[in-house]
Chain A
Amino acid sequence: MNPDASTIAAGAPIEVDLSPVAEGQDIKVFWRGKPIYISHRTKKQIDEARGVNVASLPDPETDEARVKSGHDQWLVVIGICTHLGCIPIAHEGNYDGFFCPCHGSQYDSSGRIRQGPAPANLPVPPYQFVSDTKIQIG
């Protein structure tokens, strides 16, 4: 009952052009049926994400480890709440990040869990920059 060949083939990597995404905006793309949030973070959001004491987080991870160095303004995360799989809403909640409407989990501007029942940070999908304004997810 595992995924069949065509489902796996349809899950091949995709390329996304980032040039139309202005600072403070984000876009949602679908990869393997999952929504991927790509946010162009503001300076304030980056500072907030780096300012917290990592050890105090429920799922400790530095912001640096969640973005590609040299492209610190870009946050790419899978937009699926790690609690029970709803889609969090961007730019909501108390941490300048994401808010899940289902059971109230809140994520910060680095996609890390800060409050609520979700156990883990929003996962970062495998991706790399092919050029300065283009990424390949997968």
Chain B
Amino acid sequence: MSGPSDYQPSNPALQWIERRLPIFGLMHSSFVAYPTPRNLNYWWTFGAILSFMLGIQILTGVILAMHYTPHADLAFKSVELIVRDVNYGWLLRNMHAVGASMFFVAVYVHMFRGLYYGSYKEPREVLWILGVIIYLLMMATGFMGYVLPWGQMSFWGATVITNLFSAIPYFGESIVTLLWGGYSVGNPTLNRFFSLHYLLPFLIAGVVVLHVWALHVAGQNNPDGVEPKSEKDTVLFTPHATIKDMFGVACFMLLYAWFIFYMPNYLGDADNYIPANPGVTPPHIVPEWYYLPFYAILRSIPNKLAGVIAMFGAIIILCFLPWLDAAKTKSSKYRPLAKQFFWIFVVVCILLGYLGAQPPEGIYVVAGRVLTVCYFAYFLIVLPLLSRIEKPRPVPNSISDAVLAKTGSRSTPMVSTAIVLALAGSLFAGSVDSAKASEGSDQPPGNKWSFSGPFGKFDRGALQRGLKVYKEVCASCHGLSYVAFRNLAEPGGPGYSVAQAAAFASEYKLKDGPNDAGDMFERAGRPADYFPSPFPNEQAARAANGGAAPPDLSLITKARSYKRGFPWFVFDFFSQYQEQGPDYVSAVLQGFDDHVPEGVTIPEGSYYNKYFPGHAIKMPKPLSDGQVTYDDGSPATVAQYAKDVTTFLMWTAEPHMEARKRLGFQVFVFLILFAGLMYFTKKKVWADSH
């Protein structure tokens, strides 16, 4: 995209087109012959990674939109049906949901890289500002996408974020009404968010084109921050940069696949598996992780309007970065002070993110205020000041000099590493304290589940026994409305034959109609029918159960969780622990106790349960020894019942779990081979350039 090219395709047909529309020349000069600095490191592959992620998001998104229903009453269910019934729907959904997070991981790395190497400085100001615009568009897109599944967090996230605009004086309220299309967040809101969520990615793609154009006019920055002067300073984009980017993308895909196949819910919130309910706010509203630093800034300011201004200001300030930091030396490699402050700033951002996920009380509020000040101080005080007082080290004459002198200069990172470690250590210590403080509430004990880990499979016997427990005990109050009888015969399930599932279905009497005479009638269940719910609607369920409606159990093991706290959530990433839900469900089933400990008062009509939040549960003790008879000789104890029914409910929550883990293994084998291949190809291509 940099000026006319003298490239001529050899094929006459292509020549014919080229004379009328010089598109091949454009491609050739932008992505083949384009000179790229030869000293770029792997942080520069994130541009390619981001383009790749944008492509993936648009592709999976378009297919998902073919199956999704944007209606307040149907959206939640339609997402569940995508996951359960659409071919590879679970894969598409995981790719899209995790993909949003990965997109932000990559964009944050990309932005911090720009910050560190001064990529926003003369002559790249417009390039940088276009990047900030892309980032803003991404945030809007991500937020609206999160609303579409219409779970509790979707709904309340939408409520909180749209209400931010009500802080604007005079016009605030009317802007909010305009966003909602009604008097509160509701069906019109969902519809317009769907429309905009489909539109914005294409706007992003458009701005990306401008971003790349500006990049190719100004040329890429590089780790040494000196502009290329001669042929010796650059290499051709293809094959050098292309193959390096491919290797970068392959490595990034390994991380991406880890989440898709092994921890799809790690980055999400359990509350979003509860359908939206405008009458109940979840006790603790958290946005998606990538907004957390800004959410922390919002909350740390006790005034509504000021909080909103600070939050948006924290992003807008990035646009002014090229003028706030007036230092002539671009790369922090040659700026000893700037380098250290950069790492402090990274830690401040991470800590703000951590605080954004904590309840707004006590020490967290104070820490949030301190860090908010640090965040703004970096831009408004540190950077302008440094550009005046700092004495940078001399920069190399040219890129090729820098490449040749690629020794030494390895000692300075020590200081910043020490700072990072100290801060991480204090965070660790702080969270251990808070973990101690919260020990009063009982953590469910961990269990050994057959389905945990990368090769986990459901225990067929447990699934069949669990189904029996559900049918004989739980089903009198709890529905299982996303599960159809036909699912019982599907691979990865309890392992019944189609005939057995049909026979199981025919034991149920279902209401159908109206028939030709306009009457409702009863008929035997068919495999295509769903498990009938015990109550006609939520009101009836409430009335029959003393005010608390028994929740539907289809998703219960994914919709319940408990807090893991700081060091644990890091370990969980590596150990693939994600059985909080099952652990909690089985603990609640066994946590009943007639003997109420001192200091706990249980209101009339509730029962004491050790693991239920608040300890007062409306459900009476459901299971007792010997209540359900097992034909296979398994012990008829509460512990065994709890284990079996929880396994069964894990299957109902994710019927394709075995397929997910199986495919995950294959994908990993492929990706590792592919990344290795790319690595050695890259070595070969670059052999004479180092």
Residue of B nearest to A103 (CB): B360
Among residues 188 to 222 in chain B, which have CB atoms less than 8 Å away from a CB atom of chain A?
A: 188, 192
Mark contacts of B285-328 with chain A using CB atoms, 8 A cut-off: 1 yes-contact digit, 0 otherwise. Answer: 10000000000000101111101000000000000000000000
* Complex CA–CA separation, A70 to B186 (angstroms): 36
Q: Is the CB of B160 within 8 A of A101?
A: no
Considering only CB atoms and an 8 Å cut-off, how many residues of chain B contact the other chain? 36
For A116, what are the chain B residues with a Cβ–Cβ distance below 8 Å? 302
A117 engages B307 (CB within 8 Å): yes
- Bound-state Cα–Cα, A104 to B358, Å: 13
Q: Of A1, A104, A119, which one neighbours B305 at CB under 8 angstroms?
A: A119
Binds B, one of A15-23, A78-86, A127-135: A78-86
Query: Does A118 count as interface, using CB distance less than 8 angstroms?
Result: yes
A51 within 8 A of B: no
A to B CB contacts below 8 Å, 17 in the list = A1-B181, A3-B181, A3-B183, A7-B188, A11-B183, A33-B278, A34-B184, A35-B279, A84-B160, A85-B160, A85-B166, A86-B156, A87-B279, A103-B299, A117-B301, A117-B303, A117-B304
B182 A1 Cβ-Cβ under 8 A? no
A102 touches B183 (CB 8 A): no
Provide the B4-31 mask, 1 if CB < 8 A to any CB of A, else 0: 0000000000000000000000000000
Chain B proximity of A98: nearest CB distance (Å): 12
A contact residues, total (Cβ < 8 Å): 27
B445 at the interface (CB under 8 A from A): no
**B279 near A83 (CB under 8 angstroms)?**
no
Taken together as a complex, chains A and B put the C-alpha atoms of A34 and B299 apart, in Å, by 24
- Shortest C-beta distance, B7 to chain A (Å), equals 47
Q: A69 at the A/B interface (Cβ < 8 Å)?
A: no
Residues of chain A within 8 A (CB-CB) of B179 are 1
Within 8 A of B (CB), among A3-59: 3-4, 7, 11, 28, 30, 32-35
A residues at B contact (CB < 8 Å): 1-4, 7, 11, 28, 30, 32-35, 80, 82-87, 101-104, 116-119
Q: A80 to B185: give the CA distance in the assembly, Å.
A: 12
Chain A residues near B360 (CB-CB < 8 A): 103-104
- Given A30-B279, A32-B183, A87-B281, 4 new contacts (CB under 8 A): A1-B181, A2-B181, A83-B163, A117-B307
Question: Contact between B188 and A4 (Cβ–Cβ < 8 Å)?
Answer: yes
Smallest beta-carbon distance B193→chain A, Å? 12
Residues of A within 8 A of B180 (CB): 3
B410 at the interface (CB under 8 A from A): no
Chain B residue nearest to A11 (CB atoms) is B183
B677 in the interface, Cβ–Cβ < 8 Å? no
Q: Indicate if the CB atoms of B279 and A28 lie closer than 8 Å.
A: yes
> Are B177 and A33 interface neighbours, CB within 8 A?
no
B361 interface residue per 8 A CB criterion: yes
List B contacts of A84 (CB < 8 A). Answer: 159-160, 163-164, 304
Most chain B CB atoms below 10 A, which of A3, A4, A30, A84? A84
- Are A2 and B178 closer than 8 Å at their CB atoms? yes
Q: Of A3, A30, A101, A103, which is in contact with the most chain B CB atoms at under 10 Å from its CB?
A: A103
Q: In the complex, what's the smallest C-beta–C-beta distance from B444 to chain A, in angstroms?
A: 23
Question: A33: nearest residue on chain B (CB-CB)?
Answer: B184
Question: Which chain A residues border B188 with CB–CB below 8 Å?
Answer: 3-4, 7
Pairwise interchain contact B278-A35, C-beta atoms closer than 8 A = yes
Cα distance A104–B177 in the bound complex, in angstroms? 25
Tell which of B159, B192, B299 touches A1, judged by Cβ atoms closer than 8 Å.
B192
A69 to B171: give the CA distance in the assembly, Å.
33
**Complex CA–CA separation, A32 to B186 (angstroms):** 10
B284 at the interface (CB under 8 A from A): yes
Query: When chains A and B are docked, how far (Å) is the Cα of A6 from the Cα of B166?
Result: 24
> Measured between alpha carbons, how far is A131 from B186 in the docked complex, in Å?
32
How near does chain A come to B614, taking the closest CB pair, in angstroms?
A: 13
Task: Report the Cα distance A80→B215, complex, angstroms.
Answer: 47
CA of A1 to CA of B182, assembled, Å: 9
